[in-house]
């Protein structure tokens, strides 16, 4: 396998820049640059020199032997002073060494997968951790990166292998009398795995929302104060406010964190009958986004709710402009700030309650694999209950379920996904 190198930190001026090298020539490269090799996993301050002996930088050098590194190969890291000139000089020297080439996007992580250091869900967890913007996203991504999904898959797989083995005994001794009826133990094992899978499938949608962010749509008639409220949430003028009805034509988004949860607030066009073609298009978009949002916040004036969309589930109905009119029930003034803090707490409580039901699986691919395994096990249970004549069919369905779970962690059948997954990684990862 080629030896690859790349800048592992962001480009630009910084205190420290890290260049990573991975592959069979990594340690040879360190000897060429420094004249020696540090002890494994022990940082050593060395002068890096080009082939002519001219100093490039004074760097902290770390070496990790194959089997004890991120990629599973020999890995070296050069912790340089983070100037663009130093980084460029070191990368130029590396590019001139025979057998080295610049890494492709995500190639270090791909090698970690291929060498068995990470499973596919951990790779996806790493990508999510790099992209994490809030505390909840960080915690969820770290849980996946730590191997939580793979551990569950191993537990389910062990139970299914045990159940299949019990059935295989029945098949192997079909002409003899098996002293013990294995079906109760088999059904018990299958029931346990199915309960876990059902829980993961139920919580997958919430886990995905944690990863991508919740959406809260602000809905109401024109001049209900939606844009002013969005600006109050954002703490800046994110949306234009005006007394002229129909000022907001498109959906305006503001992303923020509430108690560690990623939330995007949507300021939508005021809902009313209009002959303005552009405003009408904005209203259609507003209704569509509001219907797909995780939570809707209705700002109500004297004339009540709009007929275009009705509140459901945990949707909030709030009286607007309490500073200039008499209101009953929950009310706010986006202009003065009255009631906004309590409203934020209420929104946070609702979304936090939903987030508490998040599953370990975080992506649609994970959910699909769990659903496939669950369907196969449902058929297997039916076949077991039909008696000894159907045992072979039941065992085959269990093998189908095991294959679905193995695809979840990347053991089989995921080659077509790899290019898409690793394309989202930066070059140095």
Would you kindly state where each structural domain of the chain is located, as residue ranges? 3-118, 120-409
Cβ-based neighbours of 353, under 8 Å, separated by 6 or more: none
3 is in an annotated binding site: no
pLDDT at site 247: 46
- Give Cα 63 distance to the centre of its chain: 31
* Residue 143 Cα distances to 38, 121, 122, angstroms: 33, 10, 9
416 is in an annotated binding site: no
243 is in an annotated binding site: yes
pLDDT at site 158: 92
* Angle subtended by helix axes 391-408 and 364-385, to nearest 10: 170
228 is in an annotated binding site: yes
- Burial of 124: CB neighbours in 10 Å, binned 0-12, 13-18, 19+: buried
Residue 389 DSSP label = G
With the C-alpha atoms ordered 371, 374, 378, 384, is the resulting torsion angle positive or negative? positive
Strand boundaries in 44-173, DSSP class E: 44-49, 55-64, 75-81, 100-102
Six token digits for residue 234: 């954002």
Phi, psi of 265 (to 5 degrees): -90, 135
Question: Are 326 and 311 spatial neighbours (Cβ–Cβ below 8 Å)?
Answer: no
Per-residue pLDDT of the chain (429 residues; tens, 9 = 90+): 799 999 999 888 889 999 999 999 999 999 999 999 999 999 999 999 999 999 999 999 999 999 999 999 999 999 999 999 999 999 999 999 999 999 998 899 999 999 999 999 999 999 999 888 889 899 999 999 999 999 999 999 999 998 988 887 776 555 555 555 778 899 999 999 999 999 999 999 889 888 888 999 888 887 777 788 888 887 766 554 444 444 444 678 888 888 889 999 888 776 656 656 666 677 777 788 888 889 998 888 876 666 567 888 888 988 888 877 777 778 888 788 888 889 899 999 999 998 888 888 988 999 999 999 999 999 999 999 988 788 889 989 999 999 999 998 887 655 655 666 666 677 767
Q: Which CATH class is domain 120-409?
A: mainly alpha
pLDDT at site 413: 58
245 is in an annotated binding site: yes
268 is in an annotated binding site: yes
Q: For 240, left (φ over 0), alpha (ψ -120 to 50), or beta?
A: beta
CA 300, CA 284: separation in Å to the nearest integer? 19
- Assess if CATH 1.10.1200.10 describes domain 3-118: no
224 is in an annotated binding site: yes
Residue among 350, 429, 403 nearest 164 (CA): 403
Q: For 80, left (φ over 0), alpha (ψ -120 to 50), or beta?
A: beta
356 is in an annotated binding site: no
226 is in an annotated binding site: yes
Six token digits for residue 148: 């939580």
336 is in an annotated binding site: no
13 is in an annotated binding site: no
267 is in an annotated binding site: yes
244 is in an annotated binding site: yes
């Amino acid at each position: 396998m080629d030896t690859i190198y790349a800048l592992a930190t962001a480009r630009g001026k910084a205190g420290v820049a890290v260049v990573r090298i991975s592959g069979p020539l990594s340690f040879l490269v360190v000897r060429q640059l420094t004249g020696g090799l540090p002890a494994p996993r022990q940082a050593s301050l060395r002068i890096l020199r080009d082939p002519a002996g001219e100093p490039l930088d004074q760097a902290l050098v770390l070496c990790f032997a194959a089997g004890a590194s991120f990629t599973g190969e020999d890995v070296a890291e050069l912790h340089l002073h983070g100037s663009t000139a130093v980084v460029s000089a070191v990368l130029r020297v590396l590019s001139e060494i025979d057998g080295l080439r610049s890494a492709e996007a995500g190639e270090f992580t791909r090698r970690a997968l291929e060498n068995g250091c990470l499973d596919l869900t951990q790779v996806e967890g790493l990508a999510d951790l790099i992209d994490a913007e809030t505390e909840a996203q960080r915690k969820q991504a770290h849980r996946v990166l730590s191997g939580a999904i793979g551990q569950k898959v191993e537990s389910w797989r062990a139970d299914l292998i045990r159940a299949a083995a019990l059935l295989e005994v029945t098949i192997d001794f079909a002409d003899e009398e098996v002293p013990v009826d294995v079906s109760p133990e088999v059904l018990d094992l299958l029931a346990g795995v199915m309960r876990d899978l059902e829980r993961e499938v139920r919580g997958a949608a919430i886990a995905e929302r944690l990863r991508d962010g919740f959406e809260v749509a602000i809905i109401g008639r024109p001049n209900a104060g939606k844009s002013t409220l969005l600006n109050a949430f954002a703490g800046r003028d994110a949306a234009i406010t005006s007394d002229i009805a129909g000022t907001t034509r498109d959906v305006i988004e503001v992303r923020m964190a509430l108690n560690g949860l990623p939330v995007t607030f949507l300021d939508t066009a005021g809902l009313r009958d209009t002959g303005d073609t552009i405003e009408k298009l904005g209203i259609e978009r507003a209704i569509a986004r509001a219907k797909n949002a995780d939570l809707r916040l209705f700002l109500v004036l004297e004339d009540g709710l709009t007929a275009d969309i009705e509140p459901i589930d945990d949707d909030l109905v709030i009286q607007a402009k309490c500073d200039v009119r008499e209101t009953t029930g929950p009310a706010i003034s986006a202009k003065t700030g009255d009631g906004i803090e309590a409203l934020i707490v209420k929104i946070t409580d609702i979304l936090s309650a939903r987030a508490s039901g998040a599953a370990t699986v975080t992506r649609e691919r994970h959910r699909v694999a769990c659903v496939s395994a669950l369907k196969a096990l449902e058929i297997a249970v039916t076949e077991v209950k039909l008696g000894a004549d159907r045992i072979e069919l039941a065992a085959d369905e269990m093998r189908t379920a095991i294959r679905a779970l193995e695809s979840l962690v990347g053991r089989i059948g995921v080659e077509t996904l790899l290019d898409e997954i690793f394309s989202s990684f930066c070059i140095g990862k």
